[in-house]
Amino acid sequence: MSESHIQGAGLKIVADENIPALAQYFGDLGTLERYPGRTLTREQLVDADILLVRSVTRVNQSLLEGTSVRFVGSCTIGTDHLDTDWMERNGIYWSAAPGCNANSVVEYVFCALAALGVDWRGRSFGIVGCGNVGGLLQKRLHTLGASCAVYDPWLPENPDFSPLEHVLGQDIVCLHAPLVKGGRFPSLHMIGADQLAQIRDNAVLISAGRGAVVDNRVLLQQLRQGRRFKTVLDVWEGEPDINLELLQRVDLGTPHIAGYSLDGKLAGTRMIREALSSALDLAQPESASAPYDESAKTRIVAGTVGAQVDGGVEPVADLLLQMYDPRSDDYRLRAVVEGAEPMAKAFDRLRREYPERLEFSHYVGSAQNLDDHNREQLAVLGLMCD
């Protein structure tokens, strides 16, 4: 990161309209202008001091050159959409929010398994990419007593490190790698034909990192050929104009919302304000607080949904699906295919209009129909039961 040249307040802030709590976290600094992040233009930034984005905005020389922007904050975990080298060479301070939505993505993984009717207990997990998200998933799985194999070439010291082909041969394979297009360890199309061939029949593949880590064309070919592993895609090549046939063939398809819990999005906004405050030597605004009562809990009771796992009703899965059921997001995404709205426009609309989703810590489960082992498992996942 470069040294910041920003001084004082009375600033003009241009932001992606999908960033929550902008007024609470940045309203004290000056004026706020909100635009769709995917279509931000240089003309909208000419006299801006601060640019706040999410992952859909490519921030590079063509967007920033000739503007007065001196701070770019991405309220998301990744940086593949930011030309950080160019910004640093041109004296623009930048920051992302690594780890802000890691818990949300981990919760997505377990809810996706519940929605598929898959019991993770006694199954082996493979994790590709063990940064903030993959690392948190690994930690949870260890606490649950699950077997893990991890591939991350940047972290060879990980105690579960294994060759990629071994990781892909586990019962449940979770992809959380960032998109890296060059250098020593590129991840673009890291999962191609040879790698997909390593996935067992009846295994589960969950991709919730970056879409182009998996060669979507090759994945579609294999699903056409009758490969029998279950497939969950939250991220896609070509977003927002995703492949409609691939959507029809996966078991669960969602519009890049695994990390879209309200908690995760607010954490991203807060982290960027903290980074900006450090650059400007400013205190946090007093109004920057969560827009919900953290002491309030929603009560849920096992047995309400009747979740089926491996052929029987399972109380843990039942409670997970009451807190978040990814099948609702899958339904909304598939419904677009039947309508007149173009996929690219609908994909972004589903993200923009995403319903409020709170993480497990905002709920309390009833002890009814739960044994001590179930309660312990849910506590590891973040749900306390009385």
Q: What is the pLDDT of residue 291?
A: 66
Instruction: Extract the tokens encoding 259.
Output: 């990390």
Q: What pLDDT does residue 370 have?
A: 85
The reported pLDDT for the residue numbered 165 is 97
Count the neighbouring beta carbons within 10 Å of the beta carbon of residue 184: 7
Q: For residue 313, what pLDDT is reported?
A: 67
Report the pLDDT value the prediction gives residue 252, as an integer from 0 to 100. 98
Cis status of the peptide bond prior to 240, with omega within 30 of 0: yes
Give the catalytic positions in this structure. Answer: 210, 239, 256
What residue spans of 61-131 are helical by DSSP H? 61-64, 84-89, 102-116
Residue 208 CA to residue 105 CA, distance in Å, equals 7
**Average pLDDT, 10 consecutive residues per value, the chain (386 residues):** 49 94 91 95 96 95 96 92 95 94 98 96 96 97 97 97 98 96 94 97 97 98 95 97 97 97 94 90 70 81 85 86 97 91 94 95 87 92 94
Under DSSP, the state recorded for 82 is B
pLDDT of residue 366: 86
Q: What is the pLDDT of residues 124-176, one digit of tens each?
A: 999 999 999 999 999 999 999 999 999 999 999 999 999 999 999 999 999 99
Asked if residue 259 belongs to a known ligand binding site, the reply is yes
DSSP 161: B
Closest CA to 52 of 66, 69, 30: 69
DSSP H or E stretch at residue 231: strand 230-233
> What does the pLDDT look like over 172-223, one tens digit per residue?
999 999 999 989 999 999 999 999 999 999 999 999 999 999 999 999 999 9
Q: Give the 3-state secondary structure of 197-230.
A: CCCCCCCEEEECCCHHHECHHHHHHHHHCCCCCE
Residue 295, annotated as binding a ligand: no
- Residue 31: the pLDDT is 95
Tokens 């706040």 correspond to 52
Question: Does 35 carry a binding-site annotation?
Answer: no
Q: How far apart are alpha carbons 275 and 32 in whole angstroms?
A: 18
Whole-number pLDDT of residue 280: 79
Determine the pLDDT at residue 1: 36
Whole-number pLDDT of residue 9: 62
CA-nearest of 45, 96, 51 to 72 is: 51
41 is in an annotated binding site: no
Strands 252-253 and 204-207: unpaired
Integer Cα distance of 165 and 151 in angstroms: 9
Round to whole Å and give the CA distance between 168 and 125. Answer: 9
Is residue 345 within 8 A of residue 38, CB to CB? The reply is: no
Structure-block tokens of residue 173:
């394979």
